[in-house]
Amino acid sequence: MTNPTVLIVEDDANLREALFDTLSSDELDVMTADNGESALEILKTSDVGLVVSDVQMKPMDGIRLLEEIRSTYPSLPAVLMTAYGTIESAVDVMRNGAADYLVKPFEADELKSMVGRYLKASASDDSPIAEDPASVRLFALAERVASTDATVTISGESGCGKEVVARFIHDRSPRANENFVAINCAAIPENMLEAVLFGYEKGAFTGAAAAHPGKFEQANNGTLLLDEISEMDMALQAKLLRVIQEKEVERLGGRKLIPLNVRVIATTNRDLRRHVSEGRFREDLFYRLNVFPVQIPPLRERTDDILPLSEMFLSRYSQDPATSISFDESARRALLAHPWPGNVRELENLVQRTLILLSRSTIGVDDLAFESAPASEAPTPADDDLQAGLRHREFQLIIDAMTAQQGKRGAVARALGISPRTLRYKLARMREAGIAIPGEGAAITGVPQ
């Protein structure tokens, strides 16, 4: 297994070179990119453990790059460099999913310290928190299946730690010294997912200027994680099934079959059996992937993990390791009482926000930066009507797009100019409101008035 690489993304050539020299002097593996698009290409083929990116870049700025990283590589930490060092901008950056931020100009030692902290945290993630009896049973089960080559399907709510379990299985397996390659099936456009998975030869399609190995080849002899497998198009599911069954892959535009020795792990936050019964997931692929199913309980059902996880995140994200920061009893009670709809990811974000705003060494209940709706005056009937009208219009736009794109969610998200994750959230809200969605039930007649 190669050492994780630090990827520097900076459009200023002089600063980019200075950052490279600073980190290379500590014998770190460092790569550079001069823009967001180049960075995303590097991420497809390299084992990157941390991204350090400028915010102000063109054509893709650091915020947009961060969105792409969070969508495709959710466990990859990213640090943003900004010249605007206010608390407000720092909070915005962190809410967008950044692990941390640096305010220009900064000292070389500050950069080295931050990079070292996140690379160390990444390396220590192979020992997950498991204090609750449910988690103890989960990881005992995962360790037993790790020694085999069985295909595993990990299911659970968003943010509950599915990739952590997948990495645990890989790290405890005979393949631990080989590559662990993850791909988010929902984050890559449908027309590109096949090429990303299986690779392509030069000239296979417009823009294919050179041959490129796919994720299966990159993971050969190691483990391939297919994250959010339920979002994959049915036609591509058939091709995926063949590759898994035959243990060989043919690149797009190629004629050579490449033998594979890959352990496949799939994750989903959906009920795959229900998807099969509704005709949205192939039954043969389901049984091929579901050789060993693992269900992760939500954080609210393993409360003994909450405080240990909080302490771990507190240690990981504390700006000054020499300063001892702790939760007082009121904060601990609040953490245990919270329902955690966003699971471990919500808890991690909470700790990061709390540390940004903290001005003392003890965290009390009033210091916990829970997400909440901003305080406002009671809405008037006119306000309610306006909100209902906007919601109605938004839902109707989604229904029209779903109909026009024949239910292909990747195409719908692009047509609406939103991320696949945002589209899934809005579709869930529509289901809760009792609105039928094209391809998921009865014919659509419009949004209820």
Q: What are the residue boundaries of the structural domains of the chain, listed by start?
A: 5-124, 136-295, 300-367, 381-432
The identity of residue 36, as a single letter, is G
136-295: CATH architecture: 3-Layer(aba) Sandwich (3.40)
With 0-12 / 13-18 / 19 or more C-beta atoms within 10 angstroms meaning exposed / middle / buried, residue 285 is buried
pTM: 0.63
CATH topology of domain 5-124: Rossmann fold (3.40.50)
The pLDDT value given to residue 375: 47
The pLDDT value given to residue 390: 59
Contact 170, 150 (CB under 8 A): no
φ/ψ of 399, rounded to 5, equals: -60, -45
φ/ψ of 380, rounded to 5, equals: -90, 165
CATH topology of domain 300-367: Helicase, Ruva Protein; domain 3 (1.10.8)
Instruction: Determine if the peptide bond prior to 128 is cis (ω within 30°).
Output: no
Q: Distance between CA atoms of 152 and 424, rounded to whole angstroms? A: 24
Q: Distance between CA atoms of 205 and 83, rounded to whole angstroms? A: 41
Q: Distance between CA atoms of 285 and 17, rounded to whole angstroms? A: 47
381-432: CATH architecture: Orthogonal Bundle (1.10)
Q: What is the pLDDT along the chain (449 residues), one digit of tens a residue?
A: 446 789 999 998 999 999 998 888 777 889 999 999 999 988 887 778 899 999 888 888 888 898 888 777 766 888 988 876 555 566 666 667 777 788 888 888 888 888 887 776 555 544 688 999 999 999 999 999 999 999 999 999 999 999 999 999 999 999 998 989 999 998 888 788 999 999 999 988 888 888 889 999 999 999 999 999 998 999 999 999 999 999 999 999 999 999 999 999 999 999 999 999 999 999 999 999 999 999 999 999 999 999 999 998 988 887 665 567 899 999 999 999 999 999 999 999 999 899 888 888 899 999 998 876 444 445 455 555 555 555 666 778 888 888 888 878 888 877 777 777 677 777 877 877 777 777 664 333 344 43
φ/ψ of 161, rounded to 5, equals: 105, 35
φ/ψ of 249, rounded to 5, equals: -135, 150
The pLDDT value given to residue 431: 76
Two domains, one topology: 5-124 and 136-295: yes
Q: Distance between CA atoms of 224 and 217, rounded to whole angstroms? A: 10
Q: Distance between CA atoms of 274 and 312, rounded to whole angstroms? A: 36
Q: Distance between CA atoms of 411 and 64, rounded to whole angstroms? A: 19
